[in-house]
Chain A
Amino acid sequence: MTNDTNDPRNVIKAIRNHDQDVIIELAGEIDMKCSAKIKDKFKEIFQQKPHSVIVDMTEVNFMDSSGLAVLVVALKRSRINNSALKLVGLTKDVLSILEICRLETIFHIFDTTDEALSK
């Protein structure tokens, strides 16, 4: 499934299946305005019981604590499901908010989607 990428407010750029994994590509700026939409999408994805969910954040250039909360909820869902949640392509600023909240070690973080798929 691919969404319209021309709308800058559309933070969910694309979702695609790769064998038993799901890759969700996020883009733009994640705040209170769009976090509920992403949270709902994660809920939908985890209902499919994927082996792992890979969140490609290469094009996310801003994320606040609302976005961080969505990732924490997704991580909790993944643990309930015995799935893996993998974050890919975090910018320095996005990684920084995880570090400030001391959450960088609880997430599996990879540089590329290929690396996340292979582990």
Chain B
Amino acid sequence: MDTKIELHMCANPDYLCVARAVARQVAQISRLKKKETEQITLAVVEALTNVIRHSYGGPCDKPIVIKFNKIKCPDEKKMALEIVIRDFGKRVDPKTIEGRDLDEIRPGGVGVHIMQSVMDKTEFKQAEGSGMLLRMIKYIE
């Protein structure tokens, strides 16, 4: 049976623990191993933190929608966990979203690099109407 979970939360760091708990449980139900489960949990938190900080400019009551789907990848012919995160904040050109140079030792700016490192695919798009849409894929081995 496909995993289809949709979580609606406001852009408040108080609820990051809720998103984390849901991500962990969905990954476990999707039969991902412990290491992959923690990687997915980390990617979800990094994505939500970026939405709160950059799309909405800080904690607020505006919505974030997180969808978890267990899918069959048509190109790869294997199962994967797909996570889609939609916000309704600032729209940016997806080409400008990239990790910074890691040789520079300073705090912050590594969220995108972490997401890209721990997930098999990450793709940013401008959502219809307003905001951004992030699609992340983790293959189930």
Interface size on A, residues (CB 8 A): 22
Hey, which chain A residues are within 8 Å of B74, CB to CB?
Answer: none
- Given A29-B20, A69-B108, 14 other A-B contacts at CB below 8 A? A31-B16, A31-B45, A32-B13, A32-B49, A62-B42, A64-B45, A64-B49, A64-B111, A65-B46, A72-B105, A72-B107, A93-B42, A97-B42, A100-B114
Query: CB < 8 Å: which of A32, A62, A101 contacts B110?
Result: A101
A66 to B109: give the CA distance in the assembly, Å: 10
Check if A119 is an interface residue, CB within 8 A of chain B. Answer: no
**CB within 8 Å of A: which residues of B?**
13-14, 16-17, 20, 35, 38, 41-42, 45-46, 49, 52-53, 102, 105-108, 110-111, 113-114, 117-118
Contact A32 B16 (CB under 8 A): yes
Contact status B107-A70, CB under 8 Å: yes
Interchain residue pairs A-B with the least CB separation, the first 9: A69-B107, A33-B13, A72-B107, A32-B13, A100-B117, A93-B38, A64-B45, A32-B49, A102-B102
Total A-B Cβ pairs within 8 A: 61
Contacts of A59-82 to chain B: CB distance below 8 A: 62, 64-66, 68-70, 72-73
- For A102, give the chain B residue with the smallest CB separation: B102
Contact (Cβ within 8 A) B107 A31: no
Q: For the complex, what is the distance from the CA of A94 to the CA of B38, rounded to whole Å?
A: 10
| A97 contacts across to B, CB distance below 8 A | 42, 114
CB distance B102 to A101 under 8 Å? yes
Nearest chain-A residue to B19 (Cβ)? A31
Would you call A65 and B114 a contact (CB within 8 A)? yes
Nearest residue, chain A, Cβ from B117: A100
Interface contact A100-B118, CB-CB below 8 Å: yes
B53 CB contacts on chain A under 8 angstroms: 32
Flag if A33 contacts B108 (CB, 8 Å): no
